[in-house]
Structure 1
Amino acid sequence: MEPITKEDLEALRFQLFADLKELLAKKDESQSDKKEWLRSRDVKKMLSISDAALQNLRIRGVVHPVKISGLYYYKSEELKSLFRQ
């Protein structure tokens, strides 16, 4: 039996963090698939766009959010349909 070295523990730590990050990413994807309405931050993350790009989509009428208490909510079906065309 070989002794465990610092390098072994360091490699295990990196692998654990990588696995955890992957699991959390999958969880985020599955949750956003189940949500009927998405907040601006979810849309920006999903489309990998900036605040300005999302605002531009609103101004041009590409997306039609609902504004409630100063927050924009986007219908997930509408966003998915943008990619089907």
Structure 2
Amino acid sequence: RETLMTAQNMVEDYKTNARKEAELLVREAEIRTETMFKEAQEKVIKIHEDIVDLKGIRRHFKEELKRLIDGHLKMLEFDKEREGETSEQEA
């Protein structure tokens, strides 16, 4: 009879330990999931910030390119006017 009680106690201890271990594994999995989710959220925020920054850089580049083109067009216009004046003076 004592052997049976000891065996039952051992079985209960195994069950308790298995349950505790399972709960620990579940909690660790929950923590890992939360960490992964937070990291994913941070990456999304970073990507969004990068997109905003890149749009600003693109806008600035387009403005600078337009300024450069306008400057060259003015130089061409000025050169064309000078050529016209030179042609009139030669005639």
State the TM-score, normalized to the length of structure 1: 0.38
Name the structure where helix makes up a greater proportion of residues. Answer: 2
Name the structure where strand makes up a greater proportion of residues. Answer: 1
Q: Which has the higher contact order (CA 8 A, sep 6+)?
A: 1
Larger Rg: 2
State the TM-score, normalized to the length of structure 2: 0.36
